[in-house]
């Protein structure tokens, strides 16, 4: 009798072990998803808080928005069967093999770290509430609601950013730079093109020095709003003083 019971117990434990192993394998499969060489992709995957979403396109536009869910939704198309997608719990990567026209529309959780690279095409990243990194050879860059860190490098094309609470580093060879409602350290380097700042008057001296050193002719300055009390103090005097110290033109709208 004891032998029968022992055998039954052994079989039960063995079956339980198989069940746990199967569940673990299924969970591992759900946490990682990969798809290569497709012309279109429409999928949703989970992403950990503060995970990374990396998007690389050769020719085409990238549009990213933020949302309150813990998921990344990707809708991507390409003229050829060359889309590559890889996803895990901490990182989502969407790229393209070779060069062809493509378009990415991606929604990410608030706080996600978004990295967008394109050779030719516009980039729009809005409402993500996390750090953003952009690399582009040509095309306009439009950004809003960036938090923690903003890093932009372009060869040509205009750069527009608003509602930024982050340290900002922007490097561009040509194209205008327009920043609005920004709180954080600012480092802007532009070989040619105008720099327009709105609501970041505390950073004007630094922008003036960079514009003077790199040859930008004009900085367009927007007066602070009434609710921006910290920017209002000394605004006129600061503009007047800097205008006396440099040949850079300060235009107040």
Query: Of 194, 189, 190, 192, which Cα lies nearest the Cα of 178?
Result: 194
- Which pLDDT belongs to residue 26? 39
Q: Among residues of the chain, what percentage have pLDDT more than 90?
A: 42
Query: Of 96, 125, 127, 124, which Cα lies nearest the Cα of 111?
Result: 127
CB of 100 within 8 A of CB of 58?
Answer: yes
| Measured torsion, CA atoms of residues 63, 65, 69, 73, in degrees rounded to the nearest 10 | -10
Give phi and psi for 9, each to the nearest 5. -65, -40
pLDDT tens per residue, range 181-222: 888 888 887 777 788 888 775 444 456 556 666 566 777 766
Check whether 31 has a pLDDT greater than 60.
no
Spell out the domain ranges in the chain: 1-31, 32-130, 150-253
Check whether 62 has a pLDDT greater than 70.
yes
- Which pLDDT belongs to residue 30? 41
Check whether 3 has a pLDDT greater than 80.
no
- Which pLDDT belongs to residue 32? 59
Per-chain mean pLDDT for the chain: 79
pLDDT tens per residue, range 78-129: 988 889 999 999 999 999 987 678 999 999 999 999 999 998 899 999 999 9
CB of 75 within 8 A of CB of 42?
Answer: yes
Q: In the structure encoding, which two tokens stand for residue 228, read together? A: 């921006």
């Amino acid at each position: 009798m004891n032998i029968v019971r022992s055998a039954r117990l052994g079989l039960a434990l063995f079956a339980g072990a198989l069940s746990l192993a199967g569940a673990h394998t299924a969970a591992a499969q759900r946490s990682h998803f990969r798809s290569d060489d497709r012309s279109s992709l429409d999928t949703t995957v989970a992403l950990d808080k503060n995970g990374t979403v990396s998007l690389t396109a050769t020719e085409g536009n990238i549009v990213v928005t933020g949302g309150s869910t813990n998921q990344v939704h990707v809708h991507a198309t390409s003229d050829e069967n060359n889309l590559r997608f890889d996803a895990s719990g901490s990182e989502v990567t969407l790229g393209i093999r070779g060069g062809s026209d493509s378009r990415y529309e991606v929604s990410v959780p608030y706080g996600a770290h978004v990295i967008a690279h394109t050779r030719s095409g516009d980039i729009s990243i809005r409402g993500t509430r996390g750090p953003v990194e952009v690399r582009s050879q040509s095309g306009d860059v439009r950004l809003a609601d960036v938090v923690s860190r903003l890093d932009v490098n372009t060869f040509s094309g205009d750069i527009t950013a608003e509602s930024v609470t982050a340290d900002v580093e922007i490097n561009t060879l040509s194209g205008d730079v327009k920043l609005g409602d920004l709180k954080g350290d600012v480092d802007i380097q532009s070989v040619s093109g105008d720099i327009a700042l709105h609501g970041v008057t505390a950073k004007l001296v630094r922008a003036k020095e960079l514009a003077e050193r790199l040859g930008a002719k004009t900085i367009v300055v927007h007066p602070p709003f009434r609710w921006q009390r910290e920017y209002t103090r000394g605004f006129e005097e600061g503009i007047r003083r800097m205008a006396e110290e440099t040949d850079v033109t300060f235009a107040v709208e």
